[in-house]
Amino acid sequence: MTTVYLSLGANAGDRQGNIARAIEALGLRGVKVVRRSSLYETEPVNARGGWFLNCAVQAETDTAPGELMTTLLDIERSLGRERSPAARERSSELREERVIDLDILLFGTHVLRTPELEVPHPRMAERRFVLVPLAEIAPELRHPVLDKTIAELLTATRDRTAVRPAASPHG
């Protein structure tokens, strides 16, 4: 089994419910979630719609990186997300609202660069909405390319977008 770290986010529909359904779907598809961060309200970055809910999970899988990505895309589709043909968004364009967004951040210590998939996620060190939840569950985890811990990456990022704990649904 390989330990992987995933980012989950949603800014459309039942955000919290969609994240919960995505986590459940991971387990049903053989991706065992062993830890998850709190939910965070995060300011949209180059995206249409309202604020996101984001979290990070640590999971275990016995699939290859490409197979895991296929699983994540299947889960997104099952929850109502249709990725545009230009799935590799250009940073200058506003991205569509997200019913759910699932990304592989780290896949063990693998480094993979293909047209379909880049691991570690190429922009994770630039995004507080990824680093804050990830630092909650794995602050000492080391990025295999940048050779810095997640806590160090969070301290060093220039991103100053708002990331705050989401209000608990129970008060």
Dihedral angle over CA of 163, 22, 86, 47, nearest 10 = -20
Residue 114 three-state SS: coil
Task: Please indicate whether residue 159 is annotated as part of the active site.
Answer: no
Q: What 3-state class would DSSP assign to 33?
A: strand
Q: Is 103 a catalytic residue?
A: yes
Token pair, residue 76, equals 């997104």
Q: Is 98 a catalytic residue?
A: yes
Residue 97 per-residue DSSP state: P
Concerning whether 77 is annotated as a catalytic residue, the answer is no
Q: Which among 15, 36, 95, 98 is annotated as catalytic?
A: 98
Q: Which two tokens stand for residue 171?
A: 């008060």
Catalytic residue, chosen from 81, 95, 127, 128, is: 81
From 15, 36, 95, 101, the catalytic residue: 101
- Which of 36, 95, 103, 127 is the catalytic position? 103
Catalytic residues: 81, 98, 101, 103
